[in-house]
Amino acid sequence: MTATPRIVLLHATPVAVEPIRIAFSQRWPTAETVNLLDDSLSVDRAREPELTEALIERFVAFGRYAHRSGADGILITCSAFGPAIDRLIAELPIPVLKPNEAMFRAAIGRGGQIGMLATFAPAVVTMNEEFNEFVRQTGATAQLTTIVVDHAMARLRGGDAAAHNSLVAARAPELNNADAIMLAHFSTSSAAEAVRKAVDVPVLTAPEAAVDLMKQMVAA
């Protein structure tokens, strides 16, 4: 690893770029971050009922390119490609971090009933599987309840962050009995303040937790 570690951020949607930029600037400003974006991945993923082998191969090729660019670590910011990330982790000799791993582990430590607000429905199946796998690994008994907030992602992609945040926050009280609420995607973290005003339980976001864990993984 170089004195200034290069962390390559793999994005499948442009709305994930700003949240992770902010998290790095606040929590690991000395890291060199490189953004690689292929938004055709999320567009094509939304058209498929399941993550296809063709999409997995495209995502893994994306990750291989990141490795060849001199990455000391790779942080994925899109939550819809779990099995592809697993394959990339097994293949590459550097740390590769799933977008929600750190947040999931933190949420499981909060209690047995965890809520999640999502805005990109195709990601939910693989995210549920990942969450349950972390539960098994820790021996916990946490259960996940997920709400997909319709139309919020379209508003954010259209540049209306305020409408996105309002739509997400409006659904949050449905999870007020949970021990913690997770905002599913990096892009959803923009709604954190609005959601915290709407509920009385801890609200967890992915970017900050991911930066902290990536820092630990690269230093190990």
* Domains of the chain listed by start with CATH number: 6-99+208-219 (3.40.50.1860), 101-205 (3.40.50.1860)
- Nearest-angstrom CA–CA distance, 168 and 188: 8
pLDDT over 70 (residue 56): yes
How far apart are the two ends of the chain, measured CA to CA in Å?
A: 11
* Percent over 90 (pLDDT), the chain: 87
Average pLDDT over the chain, rounded to whole? 94
pTM, to two decimals: 0.84
- What integer is the mean pLDDT of 181-197? 95
pLDDT over 90 (residue 79): no
105 in Cβ contact with 216 (< 8 Å):
no
pLDDT band at 212 (very low <50, low <70, confident <90, very high): very high
205 in Cβ contact with 103 (< 8 Å):
yes
Digit-coded pLDDT (tens) for 95-132: 999 999 999 989 999 999 999 999 999 989 989 999 99
21 burial type by CB count under 10 A (0-12 exposed, 13-18 middle, 19+ buried) = middle
Digit-coded pLDDT (tens) for 23-51: 999 999 999 999 999 999 999 999 998 89
Residue the block writes with tokens 């893994």: 60
pLDDT band at 166 (very low <50, low <70, confident <90, very high): very high
Q: Residue 118: its pLDDT value, please?
A: 97
- Nearest-angstrom CA–CA distance, 188 and 211: 16
- What integer is the mean pLDDT of 61-73? 97
Q: Residue 191: its pLDDT value, please?
A: 96
Distances (CA, A) of 1 to 4, 35, 55, 72, 210: 8, 19, 30, 6, 19
pLDDT band at 220 (very low <50, low <70, confident <90, very high): confident
Q: Which pair of tokens denotes residue 149?
A: 């907030």
